[in-house]
Chains A and B, each alone.
Chain A
């Protein structure tokens, strides 16, 4: 009897902890949604539950001639989409080489990748600016995409290589005996089996550019080329139009679909990460 009561008390305690966590988690989200639905543009008059509900900020983003929201959206989709596609291609090629072949400098390459990841990307910013300027790619989406695709290789090549190492080599060997060439083995055997980890790579490289503001803020200068994160950041950063409610509306429009996607995919993300990153 006593132990049963103790157990019940524990369960209640656990639920209380979860409730507390839920409040802490949901409060900022609800607050931001409330902000975005508030008809005034400043904080001072706003409360968490707006007195006057309105979609005025959402409408402004889409219809006002001063709003570049749709243009930013398009830019972001181009950058994120290209970055995801090219990252998957580059990374899978490199990871396949590291996983299945012996070549000059293989071990050095692996260690170099590991060390390269450790150096802060910030270090390279000035150099990237100068380099892009040198080749005339400053203030272009192409330049931005190239940097994202190149920068992700060290980390993701490790991840994908770890995963490919778990695919039995006997599969390649038997295909080779059946007369399959290098490219056939890669495209018809390795790629289909590596789909889960490649999906993870694609997702990472879609999301990172979508919400990165640092690199775009250095590379992109004209507002026509802004990505969403950069444009949204300027809503609040710009001293002349400190406009949090508008930011909230714009941010929710992009954060909502992404969050829902993440919630659905997180299980695969974790499986991919543990399989590739730790080899359990």
Chain B
């Protein structure tokens, strides 16, 4: 960075020292216009021949290879196909999105090209002499290095995250379902019809509101329970009177170490109504009766799900808090004791603020992950048991409902509409919360 500035500045300074800067007849406006007409022309006018020719070749290559594709894509995303049975709306939609992404990059490149031509033309007009070919390649490498670093990652990100997301968002505004699916039928843009259906058609409305309220309860209760249990156990394990700390810690961390996928399936078997060990070995011998319908009564399934998530989730919080607790200075507690503070006051005013301050972003992430915790819900009971009068199971949260709509009933548009709502809710919540925590503010400044 430093060297680049020196290269640009020095010639100017030398000239400036001699006399007034020598004015060369060189028109910045002309360079700008030329570079707008065709990328690279401005650079050639600036006598940066190598750069100019590279730009021209790039633009010609782009028009030759991608022109037709972009044309097709833009037409495709606008109309989603016109001839039934020939045009495949979904492919056209994907082509269209790829074209739009490509265009964004091309426009960005073009703007840079125009800016570059204009800036250099101005410098030349003031009497600056451009560096030689070898020198400018070196400078070019220096300045573009950061882009080479990020290009592989960004390319992959665009195709595996951004493009699929844009695709899903677009689907929410089409009428793509089992009965209206390409290549047999053409899709249409339907605006916000899916969203209005979701809040006006009775079966959708009932399902949506019951699933939504359970999702909120699930997120709040399960996450808070795991945080409270984790904090509680961390405080106990941190007590100076306790021995065998290492053993206790290892056991308490165990649920985190065992892969969640495996533990959930084991729990599903343990809570099986007929042959699960909970009913057969604990409930029936102790309380008699036929056992509790863990998997067929929504109420019990919900209770069990929350307990299982607490089991799965507290060890991470426990480990996190244990680490932070050790960093709280002993002096503070001693000072508090001198002032006659009770144990609760010490906890409330020293421990809690310290622990929460240090871990706030990670705790927020816990809430957002649980909001979308598909694995627990689906692997335990596939969102079941079924409930009359709605098309989601009794324990389905929004994300597992989306899964069912997509892969079981193939109602793609509605699934996309619901997941768009999920995404918006979660990101608004998260951004709002992150902005409030100080660590993010530091991050934003850099």
Complex CA distance for A150 and B311, rounded to whole angstroms? 31
Q: Mark A137-163, 1 if CB is under 8 A from B, else 0.
A: 000000000110111011001000010
Complex CA distance for A260 and B257, rounded to whole angstroms? 7
Question: Of residues 249 to 269 in B, which have CB atoms within 8 Å of A's CB atoms?
Answer: 250-263, 265-267, 269
The answer to the question of B239 belonging to the interface, with a C-beta cut-off of 8 Å to chain A, is yes
Q: Quick check: B248 and A266 within 8 Å, CB to CB?
A: no
Complex CA distance for A32 and B343, rounded to whole angstroms? 41
Question: Of residues 227 to 280 in A, which have CB atoms within 8 Å of B's CB atoms?
Answer: 229, 233, 236, 244, 247-248, 251, 254-255, 258-260, 262-263, 266, 269-271, 273-274, 277-280
Q: Mark B316-350, 1 if CB is under 8 A from A, else 0.
A: 00011001100100000000000000000000000
Complex CA distance for A146 and B265, rounded to whole angstroms? 28
The answer to the question of A61 belonging to the interface, with a C-beta cut-off of 8 Å to chain B, is no
Q: Quick check: B94 and A130 within 8 Å, CB to CB?
A: yes
A14, A107, A115: the one within 8 Å of B242 (CB): A14
Q: Quick check: B160 and A118 within 8 Å, CB to CB?
A: no
The answer to whether residues A273 and B251 also contact, given A124-B165, A150-B161, A211-B261 and a CB cut-off of 8 A, is no
Q: Quick check: A120 and B372 within 8 Å, CB to CB?
A: yes
The answer to the question of A180 belonging to the interface, with a C-beta cut-off of 8 Å to chain B, is no
Chain B positions within 8 Å of A165 at CB level: 446
Q: Which of A32, A47, A96 has the largest count of B CB atoms less than 10 A from its CB?
A: A32
Q: Which stretch (A23-31, A50-58, A66-74, A191-199) binds chain B?
A: A23-31
**Interface majority SS (helix, strand, loop, mixed), chain A:** helix
Q: Quick check: B241 and A258 within 8 Å, CB to CB?
A: no
Q: Quick check: B266 and A32 within 8 Å, CB to CB?
A: yes
Complex CA distance for A24 and B252, rounded to whole angstroms? 10
Complex CA distance for A182 and B148, rounded to whole angstroms? 11
Q: Which of A35, A130, A211, A278 has the largest count of B CB atoms less than 10 A from its CB?
A: A278
The answer to whether residues A115 and B431 also contact, given A28-B267, A149-B156, A211-B259 and a CB cut-off of 8 A, is yes
Complex CA distance for A95 and B263, rounded to whole angstroms? 34
Q: Quick check: A146 and B164 within 8 Å, CB to CB?
A: no
Q: Quick check: B168 and A126 within 8 Å, CB to CB?
A: yes
B249 CB, min distance to chain A CBs, angstroms = 9
The answer to the question of B292 belonging to the interface, with a C-beta cut-off of 8 Å to chain A, is no
Q: Mark B79-105, 1 if CB is under 8 A from A, else 0.
A: 000000000001100100000000000
Chain A positions within 8 Å of B444 at CB level: 107
Q: Which of B236, B259, B407 has the largest count of A CB atoms less than 10 A from its CB?
A: B259
The answer to whether residues A28 and B157 also contact, given A97-B146, A101-B146, A207-B259 and a CB cut-off of 8 A, is no
Q: Quick check: A270 and B320 within 8 Å, CB to CB?
A: yes
B90, B94, B252: the one within 8 Å of A21 (CB): B252
B interface, size bucket: 35 or more
Q: Quick check: A153 and B157 within 8 Å, CB to CB?
A: yes
Q: Which stretch (B26-34, B191-199, B203-211, B354-362) binds chain A?
A: B354-362
Chain B positions within 8 Å of A254 at CB level: 259, 262
Complex CA distance for A247 and B265, rounded to whole angstroms? 9
Residue of chain B at shortest CB distance from A44: B275
The answer to the question of A5 belonging to the interface, with a C-beta cut-off of 8 Å to chain B, is no
Chain A positions within 8 Å of B145 at CB level: 101, 182
Question: Of residues 215 to 269 in B, which have CB atoms within 8 Å of A's CB atoms?
Answer: 233, 236-237, 239, 241-242, 248, 250-263, 265-267, 269
Q: Quick check: B261 and A93 within 8 Å, CB to CB?
A: no
The answer to the question of B124 belonging to the interface, with a C-beta cut-off of 8 Å to chain A, is no
Q: Quick check: A154 and B157 within 8 Å, CB to CB?
A: yes
Question: Of residues 1 to 52 in A, which have CB atoms within 8 Å of B's CB atoms?
Answer: 7, 10-11, 14-15, 17-18, 21-22, 24-26, 28-29, 31-32, 35, 43-44, 47-48
The answer to whether residues A259 and B258 also contact, given A123-B164, A131-B94 and a CB cut-off of 8 A, is yes
Question: Of residues 164 to 184 in B, which have CB atoms within 8 Å of A's CB atoms?
Answer: 164-165, 167-168, 171
Residue of chain A at shortest CB distance from B169: A123
Q: Quick check: B359 and A278 within 8 Å, CB to CB?
A: yes
B159, B236, B361, B368: the one within 8 Å of A17 (CB): B236
A26 CB, min distance to chain B CBs, angstroms = 7
Complex CA distance for A279 and B359, rounded to whole angstroms? 9
Q: Quick check: A146 and B242 within 8 Å, CB to CB?
A: no
Q: Quick check: A150 and B159 within 8 Å, CB to CB?
A: yes
Q: Quick check: B266 and A28 within 8 Å, CB to CB?
A: yes
Complex CA distance for A279 and B147, rounded to whole angstroms? 27
Chain A positions within 8 Å of B263 at CB level: 28
Residue of chain B at shortest CB distance from A149: B156
Chain B positions within 8 Å of A7 at CB level: 241
Q: Quick check: A120 and B359 within 8 Å, CB to CB?
A: no
Chain A positions within 8 Å of B359 at CB level: 274, 278
Residue of chain B at shortest CB distance from A24: B311
Q: Quick check: A119 and B423 within 8 Å, CB to CB?
A: yes
Q: Quick check: B275 and A43 within 8 Å, CB to CB?
A: yes
Residue of chain A at shortest CB distance from B321: A270
Q: Quick check: A114 and B431 within 8 Å, CB to CB?
A: yes
The answer to the question of B277 belonging to the interface, with a C-beta cut-off of 8 Å to chain A, is yes
Chain B positions within 8 Å of A167 at CB level: none
Q: Quick check: B323 and A271 within 8 Å, CB to CB?
A: yes
Q: Which stretch (B283-291, B296-304, B383-391, B398-406) binds chain A?
A: B398-406
Task: Give chain B's interface residues, CB within 8 Å of chain A.
Answer: 90-91, 94, 108, 112, 142, 145-147, 149-150, 152-154, 156-157, 159-165, 167-168, 171, 233, 236-237, 239, 241-242, 248, 250-263, 265-267, 269-270, 272, 275-277, 281, 311, 319-320, 323-324, 327, 358-362, 368, 372, 374-375, 379, 399, 402-403, 406-407, 412, 415-416, 419-420, 422-423, 426-427, 430-431, 434, 439, 442-444, 446
Q: List 6 A-B contacts (CB under 8 A).
A: A93-B153, A94-B149, A104-B112, A116-B162, A182-B142, A266-B319
Q: A124-B160, A254-B262, A259-B259 are in contact. List 10 more A-B contacts (CB 8 A).
A: A18-B237, A29-B254, A90-B153, A93-B152, A97-B149, A102-B146, A115-B427, A127-B94, A211-B261, A248-B266
Report, nearest first, the 9 A-B pairs whose CB atoms are least far apart.
Answer: A150-B160, A124-B164, A127-B164, A127-B167, A262-B257, A101-B146, A259-B257, A119-B423, A118-B427
